[in-house]
Amino acid sequence: MSVQKFNDAAGNLERVVLSGPKGSSVEIHVYGATVTSWKSQGHERLFVSKQAKLDGTKAIRGGIPLVFPQFGPGPLPQHGFARTRPWSFVGASEHGEGISATFELHDNEETRASAWPFKFILSYTVDVTATTLSTIIKYENTDTQEFDFTSLMHTYLRVPDIVHTTVTGLESTIFADKVKGISAQESRAEITVAANEDRVYENVPGIVGVRCAGETVSIRRFNFKDIVLWNPWAEKAREMADFGDDEYTQMICVEAGTVASKISLRPGQTVSCGQLLTVEKDAN
């Protein structure tokens, strides 16, 4: 197992690559602390658009962008500022089954001058083993007053074919359909995507799975209540400059977060939230 650090043309740290057991690896850009690659069992598990901007000019289109302190539109720019700020690489360490790295983001003059002016520390740990990827954020309120926020891990999973991909674990859950402007209860045990989908599933009770080509990536959440399901489909894909017109067939976003309600922290209080992604071969 090993840690590699890569600098940009100006000599600044650009990304960190962790090499884990049995050929597994994970790549994290310090811009947004965005995970841009996760390889397990010989396959790339995350989708990053071929047209994604990796030069720090905008949020990276793919991987696992971090949404904080605002989900969606609002007083701040779309999805807040965590995914468009440089994070600090704290260090990496090996453990029995894998290797992890930690990154930090602190408030600064720019964030304190924004519509969300509080003092905070985010500590983000990315851990890879042969078959798993764990991404955990510890949120700390270092301000003198209570604040609240929404947060989400905007995970883009790579799939061979969206038409033959199913999502499980959301049956009977209430969702808000942002495309149709309605709320309803999910009746399907296996969800397929065949159009532009943008849904917030609220208070999801258990493990969510994404199945395609004889494998399932299971998503276990820690202190995150909700799951967002998103695919832009053809028309929306054509509207995005940093997304290929036909790339919607190769990805699905299944995003762990708390966005239908808010997380509140008193001064000095912390909370840790995150997800564990596991690759599982389907039984024959």
Which residues belong to the active site?
Answer: 154, 255
Q: Which residues pair with 103 in a beta bridge?
A: 89, 124
Beta strands in 109-172 (DSSP E): 120-129, 132-141, 147-153, 156-158, 166-168
Residues contacting 283, CB < 8 A, separation 6+: none
Query: In this structure, what token pair is assigned to residue 82?
Result: 């965590």
Q: How far apart (Å, rounded) are the C-alpha atoms in residues 11 and 214?
A: 43
In DSSP notation, 156-188 reads EEE-S-GGG-EEES-TT-EEEETTTTEEEE---
Query: In this structure, are residues 100 and 93 in contact, taking their beta carbons and an 8 Å threshold?
Result: yes
Q: Where are the alpha helices (DSSP H) in 118-259?
A: 233-239
Q: 15 labelled as ligand-binding?
A: no
83: annotated binding-site residue? yes
DSSP count for the chain of H helices, then E strands: 2, 22
- Is residue 78 a known part of a binding site? yes
The residue with tokens 């360490």 is 93
Give me Rg for the CA atoms of the chain: 18
The binding site for substrate comprises 61, 78, 83
